[in-house]
Amino acid sequence: MGFSNLFKQLKKQLRSKKRWLSLGSVILLAHVATAGTVFASTSAATFLLDSKETPGWEQKIGNKSPSDTLQAIRQRTGYFQVTVKTNYICGEEDQALGLMDSTAIVKYAEQHPEFVPVMSGGNAVFFSRTVDDLSPHCKKSAYFGVDRQGNLTLFDGQPDEERVIRTFFQLNVEQMKSSLPAGVWSQLQGGIRVADMAEFNSVLSTFSDYAASDELREKQ
């Protein structure tokens, strides 16, 4: 039986228990609340425990507004190495625009008001944007699974390869095994493929109802 059919069965069970959680609404609210900021949270931020992504350029961001950043760029001479950084719900991508002087950078910013300009280091400028979607790479290779600590986790590839993208929340495994339709737990262990946001949200919604309580997490 495929996950979609099992998911339909599970929704019926959860509706009867009046415990169905619509995580899609939480995701939408989270994005509305954080739109336009460099540190826009992902849809799963509510449940995020850990991320094994390597810290990068964002550590160098100051508190300057976009207008202040552009003003600082106007006052500089020479060329900057310019990159567009796209942050997705799952994954990120960089597009190198090459060397640009301050005039070209300001013009590019005016043409793309949805991008947030950031100066990093002595001669680097990033334009950051957040897209409410999975990256092309994640659409090809993202799997939901469970890690060795019992956390719902998004993997790059199947879970047994242990390439963690995001760790969300700890699962109440015993409750899951006693409540879920037969086969769902096995599918989660083997990896549930997600190729778009609809599948991503459905899997999160399904398993969010089995997030371990604080008391249970302390015991484990």
204: tokens are 């999160």
Beta bridge partners of 81: 99, 124
Question: Minimal CA–CA distance to 146: which of 89, 202, 186?
Answer: 186
What is the structure's pLDDT at 16? Answer: 43
Average pLDDT of every residue of the chain: 75
Contact status, residue 132 vs residue 126, Cβ threshold 8 Å: no
Contact status, residue 176 vs residue 183, Cβ threshold 8 Å: no
Give the 3-state secondary structure of residue 46.
helix
Contact status, residue 192 vs residue 153, Cβ threshold 8 Å: no
Rounded Cα distance, 18 and 184, in Å: 20
Question: Model pTM?
Answer: 0.61
Question: Minimal CA–CA distance to 73: which of 110, 38, 36?
Answer: 110
Rounded Cα distance, 57 and 126, in Å: 9
Rounded Cα distance, 170 and 58, in Å: 27
pLDDT band at 77 (very low <50, low <70, confident <90, very high): confident
pLDDT band at 184 (very low <50, low <70, confident <90, very high): confident
Domain boundary assignment for the chain: 3-52+136-219, 57-132
> pLDDT at residue 98 above 90?
yes
State what percent of residues in the chain have pLDDT above 90.
Answer: 43
- Mean pLDDT is lowest, of 50-59, 88-97, 192-201, for 50-59
Contact status, residue 199 vs residue 207, Cβ threshold 8 Å: no
CATH homologous superfamily of 3-52+136-219 equals Bypass-of-forespore C, C-terminal domain (3.30.70.1740)
Rounded Cα distance, 27 and 149, in Å: 25
Other C-beta atoms closer than 10 Å to the C-beta of 23 total 23
For residue range 119-148, what is the model confidence (pLDDT) as tens digits?
877 789 999 999 999 999 999 999 999 998
Rounded Cα distance, 162 and 69, in Å: 39
| Angle (deg, nearest 10), helices 197-208 and 3-16 | 40
Higher-pLDDT residue of 146 and 12 is 146
Q: SS3 breakdown of the chain: % helix, strand, coil, rounded to 5?
A: 40, 30, 30
> pLDDT at residue 42 above 50?
no
Question: Minimal CA–CA distance to 70: which of 60, 57, 85, 82?
Answer: 82
Average pLDDT of the segment spanning 187-204 = 93
What is the structure's pLDDT at 26? Answer: 36
> pLDDT at residue 55 above 90?
no
> pLDDT at residue 39 above 50?
no
177: tokens are 């095994």
Contact status, residue 145 vs residue 189, Cβ threshold 8 Å: yes
